[in-house]
Structure 1
Amino acid sequence: MNRRRRKKSATRLVAAADSGDLAAVRAALRAGADPGAPDAEGTTALYAASVQGATDVVGALLAAGAAPDAESAGTGAEGTSLCAAACWGHTGTVRALLAHGADPDLREDGGTGLTPLEWALRGQHAGTAEVLRAAGAAVTSAGG
């Protein structure tokens, strides 16, 4: 696949993931879209689906080979998928990411940002924080 087609397929995949459209995500993957490739803005499909709490889409992307700890770099879409899901209290999505090996203690922003547990606590998502603690997330200075 040439560079232009890869960019278009990544853009379609991220848009489908952002809208939670599992059928469109699966179609894009069958057509050869790279599950970990960012769109032109730098946003990954896994991050977009995690923000939306689209657990089924997250599962499909992970099964297709998306790296659970990869950082998205799109404007307004920076960070790890686990941090994004934790920030919004999407507990099912957090569970799916953890089940596929996401690191519950990984700080986003290249290791200088917040952990998923810190995001969950800031958002007052007690259930999500408990899932992260059960997965081994360390108690943080954010009051955890």
Structure 2
Amino acid sequence: MNQRRRKKLSQHLGTAVLMSESGRVKAILRAGADPERADSEGTTPLYLASVNGEAEIARLLLVSGASPDTESGGLGSEGTPLCAAACWGHTEAVRELLAHGADPNLREDHGTGRSPLDWATAGPHAETVALLIAAGAVART
């Protein structure tokens, strides 16, 4: 697949994620879109799905090879998918990410920022906090 086609598929994938179109996401992934490819600003599809609480779309991306711990770098979309979901209390998205190996203690900003537990606690999102703790998240001391 040539570079132009890969870029076009990635653009379509990002749009489908933002529009919450899981069927379209599935079709674009089947067509060969890279679930890890960030947009021109550095935002990953998994981050978009996670921050918007799209657990089913997050699952599709994860099953297709998206890494649960890849940090997004888009302006206003910086951080890990798990931090993004935890920040807004998107418990089902958090559950999917954890089920696919997301590190519950991975801090944003390449290890120097907040953890998913920090975000969930600040929410406050008690159900998300409990889920993260059950997965092994520990508070910073």
TM-score, structure 1 normalization: 0.94
Question: Hey, what's the Cα distance between the residues in 2 that align with 1:77 and 1:9?
Answer: 20
Name whichever of 28-37 and 5-14 sits farther off.
5-14
Contact 1:104 1:137 in 2 (8 A): yes
Where 1:121 maps in the other structure, the secondary structure is: helix
Contact 1:15 1:45 in 2 (8 A): no
Alignment partner, residue 61 of structure 1: 61
Query: Which digits, 9 at most, give the CA deviation of each residue in 1:54-112, with x for residues without a partner?
Result: 11000110011100000111111111000000000000110100000000000011111
Structure 2 residue runs of 5 or longer lacking an equivalent are: none
> When the two structures are aligned, how many residues end up with a matched partner?
141
Contact 1:7 1:40 in 2 (8 A): no
Amino acid at match of 1:124: P
Correspondence list, 1:23-34, <5 A:
23-34=23-34
Where 1:78 maps in the other structure, the secondary structure is: strand
Structure 1 residue runs of 5 or longer lacking an equivalent are: none
Alignment partner, residue 78 of structure 2: 78
Alignment partner, residue 110 of structure 1: 110
Report the CA distance between 1:49 and its aligned residue: 0.4
Question: Hey, what's the Cα distance between the residues in 1 that align with 2:38 and 2:78?
Answer: 11
Contact 1:58 1:96 in 2 (8 A): yes
Report the CA distance between 1:140 and its aligned residue: 2.9
Runs of 4+ in 1 over 3 A off after TM superposition: none
Amino acid at match of 1:8: K
Contact 1:58 1:97 in 2 (8 A): yes
Name whichever of 82-91 and 4-13 sits farther off.
4-13
Alignment partner, residue 38 of structure 2: 38
Alignment partner, residue 96 of structure 2: 96
Question: Hey, what's the Cα distance between the residues in 2 that align with 1:16 and 1:87?
Answer: 22
Question: Hey, what's the Cα distance between the residues in 2 that align with 1:114 and 1:79?
Answer: 9
Amino acid at match of 2:114: L
